[in-house]
Amino acid sequence: MRTNLLKRLTAALAMGVFALGVGGGVAVAKTDLLVYTSIEADELAKFKNAFEKDYPDINIKWVRDSTGIMGAKLLAEKDNPRADIVWGMAATVLLQLIPYDYFQAYAPKGVEKLNPLYVDPKNNPPLWVGQRAYVAAVCYNTIEGKKNNLPIPKSWKDLTKPVYKGHVIMPNPGSSGTAYLDVSSWIQMWGEEDAFKFMDALHKNISRYTHSGSKPCKLAAAGEIPIGVSFAYRVVKSKAAGAPLVLITPEEGLGWEVEAMAIVRNTKNLAAARALADWTISRKSMELHAPGYAAVALPGIPNPVKDFPDVGGKMIKNDFAWAGANKARIVKKWTARYDAKSEPRKK
């Protein structure tokens, strides 16, 4: 390991500044499939390898960044889309792009076997097909929690108790889609007025709002804060890395988001894009989708992660259309209330 690293470093330095060569050419005429995605980066290789094993003549080329960056990039490219397929992208983002005639309808093989919640209800054949769902979750750092004598919260409402003052971090819905997921789920569960009353109370306990949706759990994992509001996959991953985290799924209900795919209207690699869509909802692929996620589109595939809570029953009835249509208004209201004077607060 060590010598390998040193070798690489020396090679890097030896090649030095002017390593201007173009990347090595590919011998066989494979189809390059340009896939825009926002799935967690550490999953990319897993999916690529598995897919290309089944389709050796297709070569997946990922363009991966956070949901916000990819959403902005997709929207900026709307007049001349570049991707062949958008895959593993928050359905909210896809819904936002549909009015621009961004996608073409396609019913992947086996779509009829999927949970109908995961398939575009408005179009047949569907414009988008969901792959899996991720849920909002709270992560709790046991070491820091104990240090501060914080009981493990069981519900969203628990988080508003004075004992948690300054010990909670959540993302800013103005910057993060995950945060909006939380906010919109609270509104859908309790109605707008009660939800904002809840947020007023929660705001008093919030140490600060982050720009990234995954950051709160990351900060909790690093002991920067005892409690972070984020999503479940992050918790699973950080725990695996050795973080003293507990995954909490508040009892009132959980907001959730579908990770979905849609074929871009002007793709030149339609066959390859369809192949990826078909493969994605195959059983084998769905099993790859499962770890750490609340549920996958194909029913009957368990989450292999040990101790992963059963969240199926807690997922709220999420109206994506409503959430999308009201996003601008709600974010503005939220910003005016909680972001306008986000002076740093002392502990």
Partner 1 sequence: MTDGPQALVIEAPLVKPKVGREDWVMRAGLAVIGVYLLVAVVFPLYTILSKSFQDSRGLFVGLDNYAEYFATPALFYSINNSLTISVVSMVITVGLAFGYAYGLTRSCMPGKGVFKAIALIPILAPSLLPAISLRYLFGAQGMIKGLLMGETIYGPIGIVIGEVFWTFPHALLIIFTALSLSDARLYEAAEALGASKLRTFFTVTLPGAKYGLISACFVVFTLVITDFGVPKVIGGGYNVLAVDIYKQVVGQQNFQMGAVVGLVLLAPALLAFVADRMIQGKQVALLSARAVPYEPRPDRRFDLAMLAFCGTVAFIIIGILGVAQFAALVKFWPYNLSLALDSYQFDLMDGGSWGAFWNSLKLAAWTAVIGTAVIFTGAYLVEKSKGFERGRGLIQLMCMIPLAVPGIVLGLAYIFFFNAVGNPLGFIYHTLIILVLCTVTHFYTVSHLTAVTALKQMDAEFEAVSSSLKVPFYRTFIRVTVPVCMPAILDISIYLFVNAMTTVSAVIFLYSADTQLASVAVLNMDDAGDTAPAAAMGMMIVYTSATVRLLHFLLTRGIARRTQAWRKR
Restricted to residues 49-68, the positions that interact with partner 1 (CB under 8 A) are: 61-66, 68
Least distance (Å) from partner 1 to the CB of residue 166? Answer: 9
Least distance (Å) from partner 1 to the CB of residue 224? Answer: 5
**Binding residue for partner 1, selected from 26, 79, 149, 193, defined by CB under 8 A:** 79
Which CB sits closer to partner 1, 317 or 341? 341
- State the Cα–Cα distance between residues 179 and 173, nearest whole angstrom: 5
Tell me the two tokens of residue 119: 């398939």
Please choose, out of 155-163, 170-178, 181-189, 314-322, the segment that lies near partner 1 by the rule CB under 8 A. Answer: 170-178
Least distance (Å) from partner 1 to the CB of residue 116? Answer: 28
Answer whether 232's CB lies under 8 Å from 134's CB: yes
Size of the site for partner 1 (CB under 8 A): 80
Which CB sits closer to partner 1, 96 or 282? 96
Question: 223-242 mask for partner 1 (x: CB under 8 A)?
Answer: xxx--------x--xx--xx
Please choose, out of 102-110, 128-136, 149-157, 329-337, the segment that lies near partner 1 by the rule CB under 8 A. Answer: 329-337
* Residue 172 touches partner 1, criterion: CB under 8 A: yes
Least distance (Å) from partner 1 to the CB of residue 347? Answer: 7
* Residue 1 touches partner 1, criterion: CB under 8 A: yes
Please choose, out of 38-46, 111-119, 124-132, 309-317, the segment that lies near partner 1 by the rule CB under 8 A. Answer: 38-46
- State the Cα–Cα distance between residues 67 and 72, nearest whole angstrom: 8
**Which pairs from 283-292 meet CB under 8 Å and 24+ separation?**
284/50, 285/47, 285/50, 285/51, 286/132, 288/46, 288/47, 288/50, 289/131, 289/132, 290/132, 291/236, 292/232, 292/233, 292/236, 292/237
Least distance (Å) from partner 1 to the CB of residue 77? Answer: 5
* Residue 214 touches partner 1, criterion: CB under 8 A: yes
- Per DSSP, the residues of 27-55 read SS-PEEEEEEE-S-GGGHHHHHHHHHHH-
Residues 249-288 close enough to bind partner 1 by CB under 8 A = none
**Binding residue for partner 1, selected from 28, 80, 162, 317, defined by CB under 8 A:** 80
Tell me the two tokens of residue 61: 């080329």
- State the Cα–Cα distance between residues 65 and 58, nearest whole angstrom: 22
Answer whether 297's CB lies under 8 Å from 281's CB: yes
- State the Cα–Cα distance between residues 101 and 127, nearest whole angstrom: 10
* Residue 306 touches partner 1, criterion: CB under 8 A: no
Answer whether 63's CB lies under 8 Å from 36's CB: yes
Answer whether 47's CB lies under 8 Å from 288's CB: yes
Q: How far is CA 91 from the centre of its chain?
A: 10
Which CB sits closer to partner 1, 167 or 289? 167
* Residue 143 touches partner 1, criterion: CB under 8 A: yes
Answer whether 170's CB lies under 8 Å from 209's CB: yes
Which CB sits closer to partner 1, 61 or 146? 61
